[in-house]
């Protein structure tokens, strides 16, 4: 059964960085991509970006360009999302989802979510 | 303000049918596939419909999707109390970003 297991909750101060991990299992990691979606408390879904686990190509949401970096470690089938210069409005649950080798919105499998709280 | 417009809430009685609309534009829905997600409280979203009208395995045929022009619709028949959830549409935009609707809360009366 395909599984995506994310790292635990984080509390960060404004201006800091956070790195969330997403470990995949039970499928060929390099034949897929990983998308990240976030959800602020009580709000809707917001796409953060996508990375190909095949070749490392990325596509980031315009509003986060310059602050977000997505990477993968194919040796451990793990994807990472690094968000810098954190602001209070970055407080959200961050989800990873299995995507294709090109970005789609067909997320059949999701991680359990990681709450990132930005507070002074 | 979301790029895709959904009604904030819809409601219907058990056993009835409900539709949830998702309105976009020529920059997004009109030229791209639409997906629909169901989110129960405190859980990750679940894919209900992809490529406008396809159901992943395990999703009952009570759920259906359609698209016409720059709008899409999710239909749910034979409503059950377990269908109470938030529903989101999503698609790609010409800005090369994925966009979601603001979400619709379904209440089964």
The whole-number pLDDT of residue B23 equals 97
Task: Name the stretches of chain B with pLDDT < 50.
Answer: none
Question: In the 3-class helix/strand/coil scheme, how is A10-22 assigned residue by residue?
Answer: EEECCCCCEEEEE
C-alpha distance from B24 to closest chain A C-alpha (Å): 16
pLDDT tens for each residue of A48-98: 999 999 999 999 999 999 999 999 999 999 999 999 999 999 999 999 999
Distances (CA, A) of B4 to A81, A108, B7, B76: 26, 21, 10, 20
End-to-end C-alpha distance for chain B, whole angstroms: 28
If pLDDT is split at 50, 70 and 90, which confidence band does A102 have? confident
Q: Starting from the edge strand earliest in sequence, which strands make up the sheet with A92-99, in order? A: A10-12, A114-118, A92-99, A33-39, A45-52, A58-60
Q: List the single best residue of B4, B39, B44 to mutate versus A (max A Cβ within 10 A).
A: B44
């Amino acid at each position: 059964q395909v599984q995506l297991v994310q790292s635990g909750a984080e509390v960060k101060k404004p201006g800091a960085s956070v790195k969330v991990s997403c470990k995949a299992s039970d499928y060929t990691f390099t034949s897929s991509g990983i998308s990240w979606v976030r959800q602020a408390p009580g709000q809707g879904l917001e796409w953060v970006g996508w990375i190909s686990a095949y070749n490392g190509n990325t596509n980031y949401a315009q509003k986060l360009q310059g602050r977000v970096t997505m990477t993968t470690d194919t040796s451990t089938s793990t994807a990472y999302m690094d968000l810098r210069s954190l602001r209070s409005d970055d407080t959200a649950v961050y989800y990873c989802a299995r995507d294709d080798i090109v970005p789609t919105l067909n997320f059949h499998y999701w991680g359990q979510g990681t709450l990132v709280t930005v507070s002074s | 303000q979301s790029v895709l417009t959904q009604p904030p809430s819809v409601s219907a009685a058990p056993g009835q049918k409900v539709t949830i609309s998702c309105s976009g534009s020529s920059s997004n829905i009109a030229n791209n596939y639409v997906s629909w997600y169901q989110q129960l409280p405190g859980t990750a979203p679940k894919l209900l419909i992809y490529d406008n009208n396809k159901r992943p395995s395990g999703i009952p045929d009570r759920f259906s999707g359609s698209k016409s022009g720059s709008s899409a619709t999710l239909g749910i028949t034979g409503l059950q109390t377990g269908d109470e959830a938030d529903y989101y549409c999503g698609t790609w935009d010409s800005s090369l970003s994925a966009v979601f609707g603001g979400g619709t809360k379904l209440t089964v009366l």
